[in-house]
Structure 1
Amino acid sequence: MTRRRFLKQLSVLASAGVFFKTSFAKAAYKVKQFTQRYLRPPGALKEDDFISRCIRCNQCAEICPNNCIKFFGSENGIASQGTPYISPREKACILCMKCGDVCPTGAIKPVKRELKPIVQEVNMGIARVDRQLCLSWQGKSCGVCYRACPLADTALKVGFMEQPEVLDACVGCGLCENSCIQIPQAIKIIPRHTIAALGK
């Protein structure tokens, strides 16, 4: 094999390596983007409207007394970059409703901090219980999620052995998920935009 031919083949292999590395990175990014679970702040518009109207001013996070609002970098796609989100397992929303009061564009609607308006106008997602993981459903009374719920008996009720049952009025604040003592958690929030994407 001549030196020129060897260098040419080496160049082709290097180019192929870069291509496959880039393709793999893109595929991994798509998987991460698809599987990432997050909530929008309470009162947020539907996902597409929210992204287009949010001006990334950070005022919602600045006023949040629970410091649960974070901002996307590039990990969730360019369109979402700089927009606010909540990871309920890390820190959940306490439904103070202050973020909607300061949002200058209406990306997050103002909602009164009263039971009826919150139930009617807040839709961050809905909680789901995995009975195979839930201590109460496995015969060991727990009830931590119920005691953490700010809308107890409206969004979440308990039965025998404090077995949790999610009601239709659940707004998806994530306090139940955040408080769950199981690892992985036995109750978690299915985000509104995920439910919408699945056509449910």
Structure 2
Amino acid sequence: MSDMTSTADAPRSPGRPRSVRADEAIVEATLDLLAEGSTVEALSIEAIAARAGVGKATIYRRWPGKDALLLDALRRLKGIVPQPAGHSVRDDLVLLVGAVGHHIDPRARKIMPCLVPEVNRSPDHFQLYQNIIEPRRQLMREVLRRGVRDGDLRADLDIELTMALLTGPMLIQRMLRWHPELDDRILPEKIVDGVLEGIRAR
């Protein structure tokens, strides 16, 4: 199951069907305002409604508040989580590492770096961030645990530390373009192969 599950997928109460077009317009307006420089704290339901061309009540009928809307909008920005095939620990890790910091929406380059201060300042926004990335972490966790269980990886493997070793370099390269000469196309393989040298079963 992908982490794209949102309030839009929840059972709906009887009455007039929700407009998919309105849903899209609200989410797009949220992302546009963030990309244009609005902070999470400054972003308001009023501003989103005005940009989307809907009333505030239309938003509140769909989302209980701004944080729930932000969660759906940022999930949309990150896209669908890739699903490991389950045949090879290496191949599955390359797939998941390749998805770290990767966004098909060009607005992500403006939005994601600006969220870091917000996440550090606010416990609520930190939890919002955790809710977005935890399904992705869980997929990597499952791949590593399978590797331990099948005897491919060390029995004493520290799963959480290994995930940090795998995701950290990819994230800093994509968010900050830390080293311009590194090739993003082959970097996931190089990271995974380097980490596997230390965590393979001996």
Structure ranking higher in strand proportion: 1
By relative contact order (CA 8 Å, sep 6+), the higher-ranking structure is 2
TM-score of the pair, normalised by structure 2: 0.25
Structure ranking higher in helix proportion: 2
> Which structure has the larger Rg?
1
